[in-house]
Amino acid sequence: MDWQGQKLAEQIMQIMLLVFAVTAFVAGYVLGSFQMMVLVYACGVTLTGLITIPNWPFFNRHPLNWLDPSEAEKHPKPQVTVISKKKGSKK
């Protein structure tokens, strides 16, 4: 999944969970059933998971371009510098 696909999946997830939460609350209120509210919301969470968790093709519309191994060898790796701070002892 590419970066834009991850953003899209998160937006879809948030919208769907909000819609199902409101729908579940209204259904539970109208029917006077807490069990129905939980059931509607659980179905919504399951459906949201089935849509947003798998790596569907519409989440891969902007693939990342990686360097070829031969091209990567031409560029040196960045050096990591570690700065150590020593505290002086107080007497």
Rounded Cα gap, residues 74 and 43, in angstroms: 52
**CB under 8 Å to 27, separation ≥6 — which residues?**
36, 37, 40
Task: Give the position of tokens 């399951």.
Answer: 46
Per-residue pLDDT tens for 37-70?
999 999 999 999 999 988 888 888 888 777 677 7
**Residue type present at position 30:** V
Mean pLDDT score, 6-22: 95
User: Which DSSP string corresponds to 74-91?
Assistant: HSPPPPP------PPPP-
Q: Does position 3 have pLDDT exceeding 90, yes or no?
A: no
Choice between 6 and 83, residue whose per-residue pLDDT is larger:
6
Amino acid in the structure at residue 26: V
Got the DSSP string for 34-79? Answer: HHHHHHHHHHHHHHHHHHHSS--GGG-SS---PPPHHHHHHSPPPP
Between 8 and 72, the more confident residue is 8
